[in-house]
Amino acid sequence: MSATTAAGPAAGSAPASDAGAPPVFSVEGLWKVFGPRADRVPADPALAALDAAELRARTGCTAAVRDVSFDVRKGEVFVVMGLSGSGKSTLVRCLTRLIEPTAGRIAIDGEDVRAMDGTRLRELRRHRAAMVFQHFGLLPHRTVLDNVAYGLEIQGMGRAARRERAAEVVAKVGLAGMEQRRPAQLSGGQRQRVGLARALAVDPEVLLFDEPFSALDPLIRRDMQDEVVRLHREEGRTMVFITHDLQEALKLGDRIALMRDGRVVQLGTPEEIVGAPADDYVRAFVQDVPREQVLTVRTAMRPASPAERTATGPTVTPDTTVSQAITTVSREGAPARVLDAGACVGVVDAETLLNVVAGHPTTAPADTPPALSADVSAVEAAGGPADAGPAGPAAAAGGADGSAVRGVDVSAGRPAAGGGVPGGPGADVSAVEAAGGPADAGSAGPTAVAGGADGSAVRGADASAGEAGGGSSGVPAPPAGKESV
Ligand SMILES: Nc1ncnc2c1ncn2[C@@H]1O[C@H](COP(=O)(O)OP(=O)(O)OP(=O)(O)O)[C@@H](O)[C@H]1O
């Protein structure tokens, strides 16, 4: 989880995900095409190259996910963000085959998901990758405690044990004292907490969130986001989180996959996406983000001179946001040295910090590889020393043209996520099955499938989303949540 938010620093930093560990989910060349003879689309380079409108005109098909590859690392919050119709839900549903992929590879802990039989799939959805839905599908006649215990009941856990476990999780999500209420006696936010608790109770290896908070009002939504931050910090559980809200993505994501028309147009940390947008589309998406609240001093710092390296005075860490560093530098009235494990890796001063705020090209340590580094002459022009600093982080500047890609990473040292003990609300699976298996009904069929514990299928066909989001305009309309950034 990022240590900062678009609205200010998060309540604390989460443990970092382990970039070196084998991925939990590994996705390669994934396609999901809805429509007649869908599998010919990924197989035929000429069809695969068509844009959405041409493809629809030529084949009657919609490519909701197009040749997508990524890994979800153990312990990270991986956010899938994009406008309505960009393919987020389809992509995440493909991970557990709630929607059947058309082509590509998906593995969980190295196991081929596409090769799983029905039993194995059920286990995957119940035990390993539980989904938290926007419509949480609580059982209205059951108490909070029994709703939370429901998934455990499906697994055959005894009454006393499951109620004890459910009580623990209810307390964890801040609902202690409400165990005996029924869903109708709860606010929307409290109901969402019950949905979250129900997923947590079964202790899945991965939590998949499908826009869980988008129906909540802004204050409750922020509350729930903080709850996710807190839970993640405490447990280090791997999470995949769908949102169309940039602020939410920046707040929650260790890494963000930004989707457009079924493709991932950029995959990176919040800092990479804001500091070095991959193209005009991403740039337009992030243009109103207060850069100083997302970018860290890694982006802002210049090399330290020999004298500065051994000087005294204010210090900051590489993860300090530019916003926080501005406070330090202005309070102390002096440049701050950037210390990483005791070593001085750079310096930030009023000029370097204001460059970030202004969106000007920033500087990088002189020992940064040329392909990644900012123009050192700019440092010299700004009066900064050009000598090489000690080995620093792989920082590089997001130049004004967005071409530089930063090597900052929130990796390493994160404790292992919760074990893949007992599974998710079983009714999710039965809803899928009741709906006739993974929804792959082509353009006329149901999207899928997301049952609540009451077995109700939540998502229906969503052709309109595609109209809204599948357009071919060069630059996106602001995402719904963007104005709040
Ligand atoms: N069952 C279906 N049949 C045909 N097209 C579909 C089906 N389900 C989704 N699509 C299309 O696939 C594309 C991606 O839809 P998806 O629901 O994954 O987008 P999304 O980014 O999750 O959107 P939203 O934020 O509105 O939920 C859209 O063009 C949508 O219309």
Question: How far does the centroid of ligand 1 lie from the alpha carbon of residue 85, in Å?
Answer: 5
* Shortest-distance Cα residue to atom 12 of ligand 1: 64
For residue 410, pLDDT over 50 is answered with no
Of the candidates 385, 412, 142, 38, the residue with the CA atom closest to the CA atom of residue 254 = 412
* Shortest-distance Cα residue to atom 31 of ligand 1: 466
* Cβ pair 405, 276 in contact under 8 A: yes
For residue 63, pLDDT over 90 is answered with yes
- If asked whether residues 230 and 340 sit together in one domain, one would say no
Q: Give domain status of residue 257, yes or no.
A: yes
For residue 215, pLDDT over 80 is answered with no
* Shortest-distance Cα residue to atom 29 of ligand 1: 466
Q: What is the pLDDT of residue 375?
A: 31
Q: How far apart are CA 97 and CA 111, in angstroms?
A: 14
Q: What is the mean predicted confidence (pLDDT) over 194-223? A: 85
Q: Is the CB of 443 under 6 A from ligand 1?
A: yes
- If asked whether residues 285 and 306 sit together in one domain, one would say no
Q: Give domain status of residue 108, yes or no.
A: yes
Q: State both tokens at 117.
A: 């039989």
- Tell me the three-class secondary structure of 161-213, residue by residue: HHHHHHHHHHHHCCCCCCCCCCHHHCCHHHHHHHHHHHHHHCCCCEEEEECCC
Q: Supply the Cα-derived Rg of the chain in whole angstroms.
A: 23
Of 273-287, 314-328, 397-411, the range with the lowest mean pLDDT is 397-411
Q: Is the CB of 85 under 6 A from ligand 1?
A: yes
If residue 225 lies in a helix (H) or strand (E), which one and from where to where?
helix 218-235
Q: What is the pLDDT of residue 359?
A: 78
Q: How far apart are CA 158 and CA 30, in angstroms?
A: 40
- If asked whether residues 283 and 341 sit together in one domain, one would say no
* Shortest-distance Cα residue to atom 27 of ligand 1: 84
For residue 58, pLDDT over 50 is answered with yes
Question: How far does the centroid of ligand 1 lie from the alpha carbon of residue 258, in Å?
Answer: 15
Q: Give domain status of residue 442, yes or no.
A: no
Signed CA dihedral, 311, 313, 318, 321: sign only: negative
Q: Is the CB of 89 under 6 A from ligand 1?
A: yes
Q: What is the pLDDT of residue 356?
A: 86
- If asked whether residues 70 and 146 sit together in one domain, one would say yes
From the alpha carbon of 439, which atom of ligand 1 is closest? 1
Q: What is the pLDDT of residue 285?
A: 87
CATH of the domain at 349: 3.90.1280
For residue 328, pLDDT over 50 is answered with yes
Q: Give domain status of residue 420, yes or no.
A: no
Other beta carbons within 10 Å of 483: 10
More confident residue, 276 or 381: 276
Q: What is the pLDDT of residue 315?
A: 94
Q: Is the CB of 465 under 6 A from ligand 1?
A: yes
CATH of the domain at 33: 3.40.50.300
Q: What is the pLDDT of residue 299?
A: 85
From the alpha carbon of 91, which atom of ligand 1 is closest? 18
For residue 380, pLDDT over 70 is answered with no
Residue located via tokens 């769908």: 242
- If asked whether residues 334 and 258 sit together in one domain, one would say no
Q: Give domain status of residue 254, yes or no.
A: yes
Q: How far apart are CA 103 and CA 80, in angstroms?
A: 20
Q: How far apart are CA 462 and CA 204, in angstroms?
A: 29
- If asked whether residues 221 and 256 sit together in one domain, one would say yes
Q: Is the CB of 449 under 6 A from ligand 1?
A: no
Q: Give domain status of residue 96, yes or no.
A: yes
From the alpha carbon of 469, which atom of ligand 1 is closest? 29
Q: Is the CB of 321 under 6 A from ligand 1?
A: no
Question: How far does the centroid of ligand 1 lie from the alpha carbon of residue 147, in Å?
Answer: 30
- If asked whether residues 226 and 311 sit together in one domain, one would say no
Q: Which of 348, 381, 414 is the last residue of a domain?
A: 381
Q: Which of 291, 308, 329 is the last residue of a domain?
A: 291
Q: What is the mean predicted confidence (pLDDT) over 66-90? A: 95
pLDDT tens-digit map of 148-165: 999 888 888 999 999 999
Q: What is the mean predicted confidence (pLDDT) over 337-347? A: 93
ipTM of the assembly?
0.98
Q: Binning pLDDT at 50, 70 and 90, where does residue 62 land? A: very high
Q: What is the mean predicted confidence (pLDDT) over 5-28? A: 60
- If asked whether residues 105 and 188 sit together in one domain, one would say yes
- If asked whether residues 115 and 153 sit together in one domain, one would say yes
Question: How far does the centroid of ligand 1 lie from the alpha carbon of residue 399, in Å?
Answer: 34
From the alpha carbon of 244, which atom of ligand 1 is closest? 25
For residue 29, pLDDT over 90 is answered with yes
Question: How far does the centroid of ligand 1 lie from the alpha carbon of residue 463, in Å?
Answer: 7
Pocket mutation for ligand 1, best pick of 66, 91, 240, 447 (most atoms within 8 Å of C-beta): 447
Task: State the total domains in the chain.
Answer: 2
Q: Give domain status of residue 473, yes or no.
A: no
- If asked whether residues 103 and 144 sit together in one domain, one would say yes
Q: Is the CB of 50 under 6 A from ligand 1?
A: no
Q: What is the pLDDT of residue 109?
A: 95
More confident residue, 299 or 477: 299
Q: Is the CB of 466 under 6 A from ligand 1?
A: yes
Q: What is the pLDDT of residue 18?
A: 59
- If asked whether residues 161 and 305 sit together in one domain, one would say no
More confident residue, 367 or 190: 190
Q: Is the CB of 293 under 6 A from ligand 1?
A: no
Q: How far apart are CA 280 and CA 263, in angstroms?
A: 15
Q: What is the mean predicted confidence (pLDDT) over 57-83? A: 95
Q: Which of 291, 318, 343 is the last residue of a domain?
A: 291
For residue 41, pLDDT over 50 is answered with yes
Range of the domain at 191: 4-291
Task: Please list, in sequence order, all residues whose beta carbon lies within 8 angstroms of the beta carbon of residue 400, skipping any fewer than 6 positions away.
Answer: 359, 360, 361
Q: What is the pLDDT of residue 310?
A: 85
Q: How far apart are CA 233 and CA 222, in angstroms?
A: 16
Q: What is the mean predicted confidence (pLDDT) over 28-45? A: 96
pTM passes above 0.80: no
- If asked whether residues 344 and 229 sit together in one domain, one would say no
* Shortest-distance Cα residue to atom 28 of ligand 1: 466
Q: Is the CB of 461 under 6 A from ligand 1?
A: yes
Q: What is the mean predicted confidence (pLDDT) over 398-417? A: 29
More confident residue, 16 or 303: 303
| Average pLDDT over the chain, rounded to an integer | 74
Q: Is the CB of 351 under 6 A from ligand 1?
A: no
Q: Is the CB of 134 under 6 A from ligand 1?
A: no
Q: How far apart are CA 383 and CA 373, in angstroms?
A: 18
Q: Binning pLDDT at 50, 70 and 90, where does residue 386 land? A: very low
